[in-house]
Amino acid sequence: MNLADIWNKLLEPPKGHYRSFFGLTAEKAIQAIVSRLPGGLSPRHLTYLGVGGGIVTAVALLACRQSLAWTPFIPIGVLVNWLGTSLDGPLARARHLERPSLGLLDHSADLGTQLLIILAFGFSPFFSLVSASVVLACYLLFSSYTYIRATARVPGQMAYIGIGTTEFRVLLAFWPFIALALGVNERGANGLTRLDEVVIALGSMAVGGLIIKIILDARKIALSRDKQEF
């Protein structure tokens, strides 16, 4: 087994469409909830709900600079955001209400609220602006590549190394409590926090992994087209 094969197994586990840790469980939960939603609730209502959850999360993060009593509102906001942005698309498909405008609104709201939450973390007591900038850059890179794969008609992969949108939101929800327990914002002699050093290292590894992933995907596309030509 060569190095490319090893990276391929790490970055793209071979079994199943739901490659993230909670992907299959989350999909089952989404389908169960969608089947029980009232008829008067539209996909657009759910999109707005997701945006509201993102705003609640961001406000709670900023308010924690004044009082940590706001901390419990962070996971609540993340949960509402996940429900809204995860259910609007499946509800539209289940009721045959899919429209390009709805899809544009759905994806734009999802991307916008995630950016808002990550930036709010940078101004909260639980993260530094340096760490938030690294996470934001990685999030934009991976999101952009997901859309690039879609335009290239490559089967979508919603998770990388077991982490997808659901796992990312779980980390966002529980991170404030982990940060409080570990005291990760203590600064070292170089002006960076211990968390900054870890996040920068992990971010560099993630970007390196993404580059390898792009090369592997390009090779797969080239091989598949060669087979079709013959």
Per-residue pLDDT for 6 more than 50?
no
Domains of the chain: 3-229 (1.20.120.1760)
Radius of gyration of the chain (CA): 19
Q: Which residues pair with 160 in a beta bridge?
A: 163
Return phi, psi of residue 187, to 5°.
-90, 145
Q: Where are the beta strands (DSSP E) in 100-141?
A: none
- The string of pLDDT tens digits covering residues 35-75 is 898 988 888 899 999 999 999 999 999 999 999 999 999 99
- DSSP SS3 for 41: coil
Q: Between these two residues, 103 and 177, which has the higher pLDDT value?
A: 177
**Span 192-227, pLDDT tens digits:** 777 888 889 988 988 888 888 888 878 877 777 655
Q: Which of 86-95, 132-141, 180-189, 190-199 has the lowest mean pLDDT?
A: 180-189
Residues β-bridged to residue 187: 193
Cβ atoms of 167 and 22 closer than 8 Å:
yes
Q: Cα–chain-centroid distance for residue 179?
A: 20
- The pair of structure tokens assigned to 199 is 């996040």
115-136 per-position pLDDT tens digit: 999 999 999 988 888 999 999 9
Which one, of 117, 126, 122, lies nearest residue 178 by Cα?
Answer: 126
